Copies of this chain bind each other. A is one copy, B any other.
């Protein structure tokens, strides 16, 4: 039996792997999907709105993750010149392209839970 060559270490597979790495590096961490998901369905939210809406997140993480997402053009941050200064976060058009991915992730999780606890 001869040494089996590496099956598919070029072109398509490598591009795919790289693509998955790219996606993961941008969407990594415990909170990105939650933040994006929340902004997708409730557009225009303040920092405190997000903090209340996303169960368990703290100010440090929210702040840091929002900066990451802004840097990657997935969310907009607009400072409003209101009486007490407020900030509006919203999803960008580009961020909206993540909608199917997030839906897929959520739906898979729901199906998973059903398969574990039995559907009722």
Which residues from chain A sit less than 8 Å from chain B, CB to CB?
4, 6-9, 13-24, 26, 30, 33-34, 37-38, 41-42, 49, 52-55, 94, 97-98, 100-102, 104-113, 115
What is the copy number of this chain in the assembly? Answer: 2
**Chain B residue with Cβ nearest A101:** B104
Question: Would you call the interface of chain A mostly helix, strand, loop, or mixed?
Answer: helix
Residues B42 and A109 in contact, CB atoms below 8 Å apart: no
Of B23, B52, B107, B115, which one neighbours A105 at CB under 8 angstroms? B23
Given known A-B contacts A9-B53, A53-B8, A53-B9, A107 and B20 have beta carbons under 8 A apart: no
Residues A20 and B109 in contact, CB atoms below 8 Å apart: yes
Given known A-B contacts A109-B21, A111-B97, A115-B94, A37 and B16 have beta carbons under 8 A apart: yes
